[in-house]
Amino acid sequence: MARSGFIFETSRRLVTGGAVYYFWMTLLTILAIVGITSYMKQLQVGLIATGMQNYVSWGLYIGNFTFLVGVAAAAVLLIIPAYLYDFGPIKEIVIVAEVLAVCALLMCLMFVTADLGRPDRFWHLIPGLGILSLPRSLLAWDIVVLNGYLFLNIAIPGYLLWNAYHDRPVNMRFILPFILLSIPWAVSIHTVTAFIYNGLAARPFWNASILAPRFLASAFCSGPALVILLYQLVRRYTTFHVKDEALFKIAEMIAIAMAINLFLLGAEFFKEVYSDTHHLTPLQYLYQGLHGKGMLVPWIRTALVFNVVAFVIFLIPATRKNFATLNLGCVLIIVGIWIEKGMGLIVPGFIPAPLGEVWEYAPTTIEILVSIGIWSIGLLLLTAILKIVLPIETGEFKKTGLDGVPIHAGGGL
Amino acid sequence: MSDQTDSFSKENSNSARASGSEIVQRPDSQPTDNRTVLSDRRTFLAGAAGLLGMIAVSSCTWQEFFQNNFRRMSKEEIEQTVHRLQEEYKKKYGKEFVVGTEAPLDATLFGYGLDIQRCIGCRRCVYGCVEENNQSRDPQIHYIRVLRFRDGNMDLEQSDIYYDPEEVPEKGYYYMPVQCQHCANPPCTKVCPVQATWTEPDGIVVVDYNWCIGCRYCMAACPYMGRWFNFTDPGIPKDQVNPNTHYLGNRPRMRNVVEKCTFCIQRVRQGIYPKCVEVCPVGARKFGNLLDPNSEISKIIKTKRVFRLKEELNTQPKFYYFFSI
């Protein structure tokens, strides 16, 4: 009875909302359908529908995957101050970051599936049924850590919210070990993802020890920047309260992470440029172009400018604490890191090819539509989950008394 | 040069070749006119098995879906799979196929030698390989890539594979064909998340095309461009398809899986030279058993100056380049 009440009330809440809510959800649904249709087309003709070829065999899908692993990992940056240092203002809002992590992970899994040549053979990856090549394959490790992180990020907020819904106290001694575990686990998902590329001696652009630290630094920029924007939307459209000081604290952490990211980039540049070996070539292709080919050059230069400008904005307290400049900085960082940790990381790894050929890659319309579709499904999920989770968090949506009549609370998106 | 088509090992091919067509036979079902037997448990089981067999034969895709990794298959499963593949290929190409499953030869470790001094860059090996190994013509896949270097350097980034002169060899250039190097420490098999690719006991790095999930991680890991992906259904004209195949070698591939040079596993396990060795007009290509001290390849390693490509990566190729003079 109680459960059916929860499901009924959840469904009711999902289909009621303001004009903005309906517009947003309709738009995302349309884009999702376009994406799914494009994916059907790709299944029909094979991966030849994409811009990938034997020279550049990974592209937009794996780029987005890499970026989103970073977003998912960044939820931890909020968990550390919230639970370990008991910083109140962030503690209240950490669940939103965990929900974002869950949606980012689901998008990751969708992007990997879209990239897979034979998704019909998915079962080959299931241990026992198929063969998951542990401990040798880093891709196998990545599957383990990503699913583990997904489980943790569903279990922890799930437990907290279920208790809030039932108006029961939380047993911190039970849940704290999981929260603590999720911290190293978040670091691990991005480290292992970096190691996928890092371990390949055939690709000097990736085969540098600085790759994993850079992954973490840039993830701790883009993820929290997304979170800052998300919180402002949440507090604008719901009764959920987020304190300004929490947002400014996150911005401060972004400034530190971006400083480290830029420093590591500089270190990478120095090593390659000064030693001037053939390992410089991919970096040359990326920032300058090679043999007259340089499709990524305007993109990566844009990313560099965006990241530096954002760093300055987040460094100066006056601009950090002004919402106009703060939001500008967030957008710059998200776009900058998306270029840098997406196509800017994946594509130059393949250029030049191991025998020296320079072949460029550009995504096809189908690839772009599928990617937009996956992002739309992710945002659709994010909106829907927040629509349920936030009222539980604020206490608006909870289990009712013996009569089982749900409380019709106002507000919501 | 003339002895290249001869067997390089004493093994004879006949027995192995015959077994390929033998396993087509399936066990006959029980005779049905035996009506005196009542609801016997055994006949019921036989009938059920027959029914299941019929379902299994009729729905090939279902069998294909559940097909196991080659190394985990029982002898019986391999026979059934080979039978199914032969039917499938016959339907597609209108020819009787042999899908061999010859096991590695004892005390054999295959190695390859390439004489840079002799190679004239004619690319006969490239196209011989395409015909022998059923590579897709459209889109085009070549296992062998012939690099042209200007005299005086061996810088891969300065090399050219698209050279197109009136006549080869050209003055001022030399040529170096590159294909899968069959590394003893292969980075490609290490990274595969489902163990769809591995090194056979005779040193050949193979792919189970029916187990590959198409993630292309092995392609990113290979430092020699030794792996190729079928981005769509391979396009091979029916009259050009080679029906003499091996399960781990040149049998027709499907879309969205990785393939590679297998030293012509379908030939070398029967004692025949790889196609590229056979077609080379100048005898620049050598092949043999590294474990046999009297084989041509062992003698070359002992008496010539040899080197291996990108040795600093510790991939330990079994593919040796050498200079004959």
- Model confidence pLDDT, tens digit, residues A15-29: 888 899 999 999 999
pLDDT band at A240 (very low <50, low <70, confident <90, very high): confident
Average pLDDT over residues A405-411: 44
Residue B232 vs residue A413, higher pLDDT:
B232
- Domain span holding position B161: 1-26+36-325
By residue count, chain A amounts to 413
- Neighbouring CB atoms inside 10 A of A329's CB total 27
Q: What is the pLDDT of residue A243?
A: 84
Whole-angstrom CA distances from A26 to A23, A31, A305 are 5, 9, 35
Chain B CB within 8 Å of residue A324 CB:
no
Is A138–B191 a contact, with Cβ atoms under 8 angstroms apart?
Answer: yes
CA distance B119 to B106: 32
Give the residue from A224, A255, A253, A254 showing the smallest Cα distance to A93.
Answer: A224
Task: Spell A280-294 as b/e; 16+ CB within 10 A means b.
Answer: bbbbbbbbeebeeeb
Is A200–B225 a contact, with Cβ atoms under 8 angstroms apart?
Answer: no
Sheet holding B319-322, edge to edge: B285-289, B110-115, B319-322, B306-307
In a domain, B15, yes or no: yes
- Neighbouring CB atoms inside 10 A of A211's CB total 20
CA distance B259 to B141: 10
B273 is written with which tokens? 């030279």
Helix (H, G, I), strand (E, B) or coil at A138: helix
Q: Count how many domains chain B has.
A: 1
Cβ B99 vs Cβ B87: under 8 Å: no
- CB proximity under 8 Å: A 155-184 to B: none
CATH of the domain at B14: 3.30.70.20
In a domain, B63, yes or no: yes
- Please report, rounded to a whole number, the percentage of residues in chain B having pLDDT higher than 90: 79
pLDDT band at A402 (very low <50, low <70, confident <90, very high): very low
- Model confidence pLDDT, tens digit, residues A251-304: 999 999 999 999 999 999 999 999 999 999 999 999 999 989 999 999 999 999
Residue B86 vs residue A167, higher pLDDT:
B86
pLDDT band at B232 (very low <50, low <70, confident <90, very high): very high
Q: What is the pLDDT of residue A262?
A: 96
- Please give the mean pLDDT across all residues of chain A: 90
- Model confidence pLDDT, tens digit, residues B54-109: 544 444 578 888 899 999 999 999 999 999 999 999 999 999 999 999 999 999 99
Q: What is the pLDDT of residue A91?
A: 63
Query: Going by C-beta distance under 8 Å and a sequence separation of 6 or more, which residues neighbour residue B107?
Result: B289, B291, B292
Which of B126, B155, B159, B195 to mutate to probe the A interface, most A CBs <10 Å?
B195
In a domain, B17, yes or no: yes
pLDDT band at B18 (very low <50, low <70, confident <90, very high): very low
Q: What is the pLDDT of residue A301?
A: 97
In a domain, B234, yes or no: yes
- Model confidence pLDDT, tens digit, residues A32-47: 999 999 999 999 999 9
ipTM, interface predicted TM-score of the complex:
0.91
Is B213–A124 a contact, with Cβ atoms under 8 angstroms apart?
Answer: yes
Which of B197, B216, B261, B311 to mutate to probe the A interface, most A CBs <10 Å?
B216
pTM: 0.88
- Please report, rounded to a whole number, the percentage of residues in chain A having pLDDT higher than 70: 93
pLDDT at B38 over 70: no
User: To the nearest whole angstrom, how far is the Cα of B72 from the nearest Cα of chain A?
Assistant: 10
Is A131–B145 a contact, with Cβ atoms under 8 angstroms apart?
Answer: no
Nearest residue on chain B to A144, judged by CA atoms? B193
Give the residue from A146, A147, A157 showing the smallest Cα distance to A79.
Answer: A157
Identity of the residue numbered B312: E
Q: What is the pLDDT of residue B33?
A: 37
Three-state SS for A146-176 is HHHHHHHHHHHHHHHHHHHHCCCCCCHHHHH
Q: What is the pLDDT of residue A394?
A: 82
pLDDT at A165 over 50: yes
Q: What is the pLDDT of residue B41?
A: 52
Cβ A305 vs Cβ A316: under 8 Å: no
Orientation angle between helical segments A323-340 and A297-315, nearest 10 degrees: 140
Q: What is the pLDDT of residue A138?
A: 96
Residue numbers in B near A134 (CB within 8 A): none
Q: What is the DSSP code string of A93-116? A: THHHHHHHHHHHHHHHHHHHHHH-
CA distance A180 to A310: 31
Q: DSSP class of residue B247?
A: T
In a domain, B11, yes or no: yes
CA distance A359 to A285: 11
- Model confidence pLDDT, tens digit, residues A112-131: 999 999 999 999 999 989 99
Tokens 């690719």, located at residue: B197
- Model confidence pLDDT, tens digit, residues B136-176: 999 999 999 999 999 999 999 999 999 999 999 999 999 99
In a domain, B221, yes or no: yes
In a domain, B230, yes or no: yes
Q: Residue A363 half-sphere exposure, CB side, CA atoms within 13 Å?
A: 22
In a domain, B31, yes or no: no
Is B211–A122 a contact, with Cβ atoms under 8 angstroms apart?
Answer: no
